[in-house]
Amino acid sequence: MLPIELQRSAHRFLETLPPKQFRQVVRKVFALADDPVPPDSQLLKGYPFRRADVGEYRIIYDLTGVGLRIVLIGKRNDDEAYRRLQRRV
């Protein structure tokens, strides 16, 4: 299992989730730590990040030399996550 690093924005987003969705997202994050490139993840075009979906949420992450870095978590059907990503890069 890879060590997990949550960026501040991902941590803040997790704090706002209802308990059921929180468990779903956290379970997926731990699954990504076990298998960082599952078949349902995709490489983002134009970015060095990957994305994975869980329920109605999207996890944007990358693999660093030491582990798994969760860059952003956001709504899946909303472009706000990608707008926030563009502001970060």
3-state SS assignment for residue 6 = strand
Structural domain of residue 33, as residue ranges? 4-88
As for how many domains the chain has, the answer is: 1
The CB-based long-range contact list for 43-49 (8 Å cut-off, 24+ gap) reads 47/85, 47/89, 49/85
3-state DSSP assignment of residue 27: helix
pLDDT at position 33, please? 92
Interval 37-81: pLDDT, tens = 999 899 988 888 999 999 899 999 999 888 999 998 988 776 777
The pTM score is 0.87
Domain containing 73 — which CATH number? 3.30.2310.20
